[in-house]
């Protein structure tokens, strides 16, 4: 069974480009106008009384302690790498599964190479201890 492809009629292609992109342009102009107006109003209406308390960094109502340039553990970056690997894998597996029958052996070999590369990333993270959540 072949997948159906949906196309718009060619009659719509002969129209003026402003007909197609006009609403988008209008929305862009409206967004820029509203955001500019809000910025100008906040400068005109807002109170400008700088103080020492206002110049301090705000951290959810808690007084800041320590230095903001404190180094983070590498574990945080490894967890981010795990997230990216899972995210990218899911993004590419869904479209591949939809057209698997059309790709045949080529699609299978390409996805096999892709999974081998992902497996290398998982093995790297495993050896570095990113998957060990006990410590």
**Does residue 1 lie in a domain region?**
no
Cβ-based neighbours of 85, under 8 Å, separated by 6 or more: 118, 121, 122, 125
Q: List, for residues 1-54, the tens digit of each pLDDT value.
A: 556 665 555 555 556 777 778 889 999 999 999 999 999 999 999 887 888 877
CATH assignment of the domain containing 19: 1.20.58
* Domains contained in the chain, number: 1
118: containing domain = 10-128
**Does residue 134 lie in a domain region?**
no
pTM of the model: 0.43
**Does residue 135 lie in a domain region?**
no
């Amino acid at each position: 069974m072949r997948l159906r492809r949906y196309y718009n009629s060619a009659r719509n292609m002969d129209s003026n480009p402003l007909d197609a992109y006009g609403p988008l342009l209008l929305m862009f102009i409206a967004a820029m106008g509203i955001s500019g107006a809000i910025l100008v109003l906040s400068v005109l209406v807002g109170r400008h009384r700088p103080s020492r308390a206002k110049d301090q960094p705000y951290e959810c109502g808690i007084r800041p302690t320590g230095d903001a340039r404190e180094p983070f553990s590498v574990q945080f970056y490894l967890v981010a790498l795990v997230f990216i690997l899972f995210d990218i894998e899911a993004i590419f597996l869904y479209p591949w599964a939809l057209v698997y029958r059309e790709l045949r052996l080529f699609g299978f070999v390409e996805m096999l190479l892709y999974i081998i590369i992902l497996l290398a990333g998982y093995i790297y993270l495993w050896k570095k201890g990113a998957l060990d959540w006990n410590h």
